[in-house]
Structure 1
Amino acid sequence: MVPLTLAEHGALAKSLLPAATWDFFEGGAGSEWSRRANLDAWRRHVLRPRVLVDVSTPDCGTELLGAPLAAPFGVAPMAYHQLAHPDGEIATARAAAEAGALLIVSIFAGRTLEQIAAVAPGAPRWLQLYWLRDREALTGLVRRAEQADYRALVLTVDAPKVGRRLRDLRNAFALPPGLTAANLDPELTSSARQSAAGRSAIEEHSRQQFDAAVSWADLAWLRRHTRLPLVLKGVLTAEDARLAVEHGVDALIVSNHGGRQLDGVPPALTVLPEVVDAVPAGYPVLMDGGLRHGSDLAKALALGARAALVGRPVLWGLAHGGADGARAVLDLLREELLDTMVLAGRPTLAHLDRSALAPWPADAPPPL
């Protein structure tokens, strides 16, 4: 069966992956309220189509921090792609490059920065970082990213530690033998391979290695060690958006970490307008969280996002089809976006503004 929706890609992946791996990919923090709310938020907006508009040549191409993209989306940073497929980030990088999409590589990638870059020289790539206690390790990664032609650094700021993910605790989740964070010293990640009943090795590892004392003042230190643009991921309030601009941050990603950090926070989509309105006009704001259709992407753009990131569905495609499966997910999103633009009478991204949306009535149940 050829998957025709992202949900069908997910069903195929679930049938192939070990249950504990599926739970690691899919699970959220706490009761998983924020994870479910991410998916529900898209249904709270409806499209306002315009008619008798020339939609014969729709165009969804864009640029982001100077890099051209075939469509306004990218692959969100996710750890250990080899849990989904043996080729891991090598396959994902190939898929993203072929689809003309941005790739954000996780600090916990299972392949080296250099191996990933070699797959598609010149393709748009950013490196995601957590703030490690070991600052020498952090600056080493930054230097390697610059040398390997990564175009920006993405600092995840909503994770002073990994959230309490009950699925991982119940499964005593730990990395399987042979899988490591290829860009870090093995000593820094050895605890991620050791777990016990009722514990998550991933959570324990974050307590040991993440610096929970980092503050806005530390951004100046990072700036001194790189010439790359700095992007903050995990911003959910206007207050923090304004502080980011004041501290010289180049772009923001509105995100609740896929519902995997603090449970009970709002979906990124619902606070996207607040963040966009808090920054200067034209300032790059991206978002992620629960995107499952090209029409979702259109809604994010209409609410002010320059681009949106897709996470779990890329791993679904990777799990059942390697690079071809991940590419199929990205191609499907682009096709669905173009279809939405044509049928909504919005032939360019400039036409996807707030006039393209209306809220679903508050007193009506959301459509299924």
Structure 2
Amino acid sequence: MSLSALQQIPADVANLADFEAHARACMSEQAFAYLNGGAADEQVLRANRAAWDAIKLWPRVLRDLSGGHTRITLLGREWPQPVALAPIAYQRLAHPDGELASAYAAAAQGAGLILSAQASMPMQGVAQAMLSEADRGPLWFQLYWRDDRDFMRELLQRIEAAGFEALVLTVDAPVHGARDRERRAGFKLPDDIRAVNLGGLKKPLDLAPGQSAMFDGLMPRAAKWAEIDWLRQHSRLPLLLKGVAHPEDAREAQRRGVAGLIVSNHGGRTLDALPTTAELLPMLRATMGEDFPLLVDGGIRRGTDVLKAIALGANAVLLGRPYVHALATAGALGVAHALRLLRDELEIAMALCGCKQLSEAGPHLLWQTRL
């Protein structure tokens, strides 16, 4: 697979937020509503961003920072920077090159990539784009559970054969949230865009009169703890769970051998009455101990946000909507530029806070209001 001709970065783009207006101009109203909207009144969508803004850094000065870097080690491999592209579905809604463009950009910038199960480009081509770069970040595959074990077994085999290095099961979205903005826009997938890696059709609901489509149809098919055990038994890849919010669920995941958690409220797209990820992160770090892998997403826009997340206990962060805005604006070059901007801002924040490497970032780097 090849990419479209390179596009230009607009001259007025100085940070990740600047891509949004350009993305809106490049996309249909329906596609923008789908990719950018949240659930219900979008309170969580707004609160995620506000929570990072509310955290203040407390810098140290006059330190020797020569030899500093943004590298981390997670799940047995080195990451050039603590950033991965979050799994976002149907990226061809934003740009014809879709997930392939995102993969080339991530590989070029040393960022990780988590490919959505609902990707609109074949997983093999996306994996090849990442694997061809020696200094790339990690390559993971995100799953939604489908109540068809034969299908899931075959999917796991394809994921491993393509070269993916870990599985990420999304557990906080067994059903769609009530996404009003998307419904008002009348969003429907175009005929030429589909989840190309998910062959076949889901089984139709078989309901008796008076039964609930939700509680008698959809929820019996949703993943439960037994499915976590099944996935670990049928794949050699480490398994992370995305969307665990409660400490008891986090402890249960750890007991069952899960390799890590992604602290997420689905970018505000599922339940519009959740804590922000910046609030959840330190609680889950305290629950899981200092060595258990934790990543976080939701509202990350600045390099200072990345440093704040590391200081609160994250090992790495996921970047979501901003890279889709960059993709819509300028394809692979746009995503690469967004990642470079974020890394540059992270290095600036580290330097100005007296932080030579990210292992030095902790709660002491954050200002706490004193009486």
TM-score (norm 2): 0.89
Shift of 1:209: 7.5
Residue of structure 2 equivalent to 1:292: 301
Mean alpha-carbon deviation: is it higher for 211-220 or for 341-350? Answer: 211-220
Pairing partner for 2:367 from 358, 362, 367? 358
Within 2, Cα distance between the matches of 1:210 and 1:139? 21
Residue of structure 1 equivalent to 2:332: 323
CA contact (8 A) 1:44 1:360 kept: no
Residue of structure 2 equivalent to 1:215: 224
Residue of structure 1 equivalent to 2:209: none
CA contact (8 A) 1:48 1:357 kept: yes
Cα 1:27–1:109 change in 2 (3 A) is same
Cα 1:186–1:322 change in 2 (3 A) is farther
Residue of structure 1 equivalent to 2:109: 99
Matched, 1:141 2:155: yes
Map residues 115-130 of structure 1 onto 2, 5 A cutoff. Answer: 115-121=125-131, 123=136, 124-130=138-144
User: Gaps spanning 5+ residues in structure 1: where?
Assistant: 191-203, 363-368
Matched, 1:39 2:49: yes
Aligned residue for 2:56, secondary structure, equals: strand
Cα 1:141–1:295 change in 2 (3 A) is same
Aligned residue for 1:46, secondary structure, equals: coil
Q: Which amino acid aligns with 2:18?
A: E
Q: Which amino acid aligns with 2:159?
A: A
Residue of structure 2 equivalent to 1:155: 169
CA contact (8 A) 2:33 2:187 kept: no
Shift of 1:173: 1.3
Aligned residue for 2:25, secondary structure, equals: helix
Map residues 212-361 of structure 1 onto 2, 5 A cutoff. Answer: 212-359=221-368
Q: Deviations 1:199-226 (Å, cap 9, x if unpaired)?
A: xxxxx9xx98886442112211111110
* Identity over aligned pairs, percent: 43
Within 2, Cα distance between the matches of 1:80 and 1:284? 28
Q: Which amino acid aligns with 1:95?
A: A
Q: Which amino acid aligns with 2:156?
A: V
Question: How many matched pairs?
Answer: 348
CA contact (8 A) 1:43 1:360 kept: no
Q: Deviations 1:94-136 (Å, cap 9, x if unpaired)?
A: 0000111110000000111111112132642100001112222
Within 2, Cα distance between the matches of 1:172 and 1:179? 16
Matched, 1:110 2:120: yes
Within 1, Cα distance between the matches of 2:71 and 2:120? 30
Shift of 1:56: 3.3
CA contact (8 A) 1:181 1:189 kept: no
Output the aligned Cα RMSD.
2.1
TM-score (norm 1): 0.90
Shift of 1:167: 1.1
Residue of structure 2 equivalent to 1:131: 145
Matched, 1:90 2:100: yes
Matched, 1:3 2:13: yes
Within 1, Cα distance between the matches of 2:287 and 2:116? 28
Mean alpha-carbon deviation: is it higher for 211-220 or for 307-316? Answer: 211-220
Cα 1:2–1:186 change in 2 (3 A) is farther
